[in-house]
Structure 1
Amino acid sequence: MEPQQNALSSEGVSQCLKLLSDPTRLLMMKLLADKEYCVCELTAIFDMSQPGISQHLRKLKNAGLVRERREGQWRYYAIHPSGPEYTLVRSILRQIDEKDGVLQTLRLKEVTVSCR
């Protein structure tokens, strides 16, 4: 049997699952899979402090799951579309039902948020 292209080690899969086992990070990744968000938008959507959101984003960024873009004083985050973890993460995120109550509540909050 040939190894899968971009296959992860057991340690890599374990680390990815560990990061996504946190409900906030899991839902954050679900949102980031669709579009880029500013830290202040995520703060309002998740009703969390900026340091709390930044801590989650730092863990995701350090693991290579999200990318950061700076624009002036603002920092924007999106899912990182490359690397071996991308396929695993997308597969996991597809398992979340779009009708999930928590996800729908977060998506409703995002409509009312503006950083500028």
Structure 2
Amino acid sequence: MAQTVEALVDTLKLLADQTRLTILALLKEQDLCVCDIVNVLQTTQPNVSQHLRKLKQGGLVVETRKRQWIYYSLNVEDKPYLKGIVDQLPSMKNQLEKLNPNCCP
């Protein structure tokens, strides 16, 4: 898929934020709900929701409703120009192991 320079700049701006890049690293491991991300990042729900909104608008994440919960997942399969970046994101498995299993069943 051909990428315009402007679209690529917008995507790279999204990735230039530490919180958004951390969220992508988390979602690289597994789909997560907002409360899981809040728990790992130790920040507020409105803050996480704002970052997820931007990532969703940029086409980097998608949401799926499971009962009353909304789960977020990576959406970069159709963006080969991001593969190298996503592959280089550090593992977040240790942080995810500490999640409260009762957050989003």
What range describes the TM-score normalised by the shorter chain of this pair?
Answer: 0.7 to 0.9
Query: Does residue 13 of structure 1 match 2:13?
Result: no
- Select the residue among 43, 46, 51 that pairs with 2:46: 51
Identity %, equivalent residues: 36
Give distance in 2, aligned partners of 1:82 and 1:108. Answer: 25
Partner of 2:86: 93
TM-score by length of 1: 0.78
Partner of 2:59: 64
Higher Cα radius of gyration:
1
Q: Deviations over 1:37-57 (max 9, x none)?
A: 111100000111111100000
Give distance in 2, aligned partners of 1:70 and 1:36. Answer: 11
Give distance in 1, aligned partners of 2:57 and 2:9. Answer: 15
TM-score by length of 2: 0.85
**How far did 1:24 drift?**
1.0
**What are structure 1's unaligned runs of at least 5 residues?**
1-5
Instruction: Please give the root-mean-square deviation of Cα atoms over the aligned residues, in Å.
Output: 1.7
**What are structure 2's unaligned runs of at least 5 residues?**
none
Partner of 1:3: none
Q: State the number of aligned residues.
A: 102
Please identify, of 29-38 and 19-28, the stretch whose mean Cα deviation from structure 2 is larger. 29-38
**How far did 1:72 drift?**
2.2
